[in-house]
Structure 1
Amino acid sequence: MVTELRPESGGPTKASGPDDQWRFSILIADDDRGTRETLGEMLRARGFRTVLAADGGEAVELVQVDLVHLVLFDMHMPRLTGLEAFAVIRQTLDRLLPAVLMTADANNDLIRQAFAAQVYSVIPKPVNGNVVLHTLERALAKVYGPRPDKPGETKPNAPQPPPPTEE
Structure 2
Amino acid sequence: MRRFGPGSGTGAGFASAFGRLELPISEREAMVGDPLSLLITDDDRDFRESLRSLFEPRGFQTILAGDGEEALVIVRRQPIHLLLVDMHMPRLSGLETIRRLKALDFRTPCILMSAGLDERLESDARAAEAFGVLRKPFRADVLTGVVRDAMRSCYNVVWPADPAPAADPMG
TM-score interval w.r.t. the shorter chain?
A: 0.7 to 0.9
The equivalent residue for 1:161 is none
Report 1 or 2 for greater relative contact order, CA contacts < 8 Å, sequence distance ≥ 6.
2
CA pair 58-9 structure 1, distance change in 2 beyond 3 A = same
Amino acid at match of 2:41: A
Amino acid at match of 1:10: L
Segments of 5+ residues of structure 1 without an aligned counterpart are: 1-6, 16-20, 151-167
Match of 1:81 among 93, 109, 127: 93
Match of 1:145 among 128, 138, 156: 156
The equivalent residue for 1:158 is none
CA pair 77-131 structure 1, distance change in 2 beyond 3 A = same
Alignment map for 1:1-167 (pairs within 5 Å): 9-10=22-23, 13-14=30-31, 21-93=33-105, 95-147=106-158
Distance in structure 1 (CA, Å) of the matches to 2:122 and 2:102 = 18
- Once the 2 structures are TM-superposed, how far is the Cα of residue 56 of structure 1 from its aligned partner? 0.6
Distance in structure 1 (CA, Å) of the matches to 2:108 and 2:141 = 22
- Once the 2 structures are TM-superposed, how far is the Cα of residue 22 of structure 1 from its aligned partner? 4.1
Counterpart secondary structure, 2:63: strand
- Once the 2 structures are TM-superposed, how far is the Cα of residue 52 of structure 1 from its aligned partner? 0.4
Identity %, equivalent residues: 35
Work out whether residues 13 and 25 of structure 1, in 8 Å CA contact, stay in contact via their aligned partners in 2. Answer: no
- Once the 2 structures are TM-superposed, how far is the Cα of residue 89 of structure 1 from its aligned partner? 1.0
CA pair 128-55 structure 1, distance change in 2 beyond 3 A = same
- Once the 2 structures are TM-superposed, how far is the Cα of residue 10 of structure 1 from its aligned partner? 3.0
- Once the 2 structures are TM-superposed, how far is the Cα of residue 13 of structure 1 from its aligned partner? 4.5
Work out whether residues 22 and 148 of structure 1, in 8 Å CA contact, stay in contact via their aligned partners in 2. Answer: no
Segments of 5+ residues of structure 2 without an aligned counterpart are: 1-19, 162-171
Note the alpha carbon deviations across 1:110-160, whole angstroms, 9 max, x for none: 11111111111111101211111110110121111022669xxxxxxxxxx
Work out whether residues 26 and 68 of structure 1, in 8 Å CA contact, stay in contact via their aligned partners in 2. Answer: yes
Amino acid at match of 2:80: V
Counterpart secondary structure, 1:147: coil
Work out whether residues 38 and 81 of structure 2, in 8 Å CA contact, stay in contact via their aligned partners in 1. Answer: yes
Amino acid at match of 2:110: A
| TM-score calculated relative to the size of structure 2 | 0.73
Distance in structure 1 (CA, Å) of the matches to 2:72 and 2:159 = 28
Counterpart secondary structure, 1:60: helix
Question: What RMSD over aligned residues (CA atoms) do the two structures have, in Å?
Answer: 2.2
Distance in structure 2 (CA, Å) of the matches to 1:148 and 1:51 = 17
Matched residues, number: 138
